[in-house]
Amino acid sequence: MVHPQHELNYDLTSQKLQEATKKIRLIISDYDGTLQDGKNPTFDESSVIALTSEVLKQQKYIAIITARGITGEKLLETQLLNYLEIQDWNAVAYLGLGNGVQLKKLTKNGVETVFSHQLTNEEMHSVLKAWIKVNKLFNLKINDLQPKGVETFLRLLNQDWSQFISQDIVNIAKPYNGQIFTEQVKVTAVLPKDESIHTNYVKTLEDEINSEFQKLGGNPIQVKRGDTTYVHITHAFNVDSKLFSLQAIVKDLELKPKEVAVFGDMPNDNDKGMLIDSRLPFTFTNTGSNQTPPYLLPDALVSPVGSVHTAIKNLIK
3-state SS string over 16-37?
HHHHHHCCCCEEEECCECCCEC
Mean pLDDT of 258-269: 95
Count the neighbouring beta carbons within 10 Å of the beta carbon of residue 118.
18
pLDDT given for residue 5 in this prediction: 45
Starting at the edge strand that comes first in sequence, how are the strands of the sheet with 295-296 ordered? 110-116, 102-107, 93-97, 61-65, 26-29, 260-264, 283-285, 295-296
Of the listed ranges 20-29, 61-70, 289-298, the one predicted with least confidence: 289-298
Give the tens place of pLDDT for each residue, 158-171: 999 999 999 999 99
pLDDT(228) > 50: yes
pLDDT(1) > 70: no
Contact assessment for residue 66 and residue 74, using Cβ atoms and an 8 Å cutoff? no
Q: Which fold has domain 4-117+240-315?
A: Rossmann fold (3.40.50)
Residue 29 CB contacts under 8 Å (≥ 6 apart), including other chains: 35, 62, 63, 64, 65, 262, 263, 264, 308, 312
CATH for the 121-235 domain, from 3.10.590, 1.20.1740, 3.30.1240, 3.30.2030: 3.30.1240
Task: Pick the more confident residue, 234 or 217.
Answer: 234
**Domain definitions of the chain by residue range:** 4-117+240-315, 121-235
Predicted structure pTM score: 0.92
43-46-51 Cα angle (round to 5): 75
Please state, in angstroms and as integers, the Cα–Cα distance from residue 50 to each residue in 54, 215, 262, following that order: 6, 47, 18
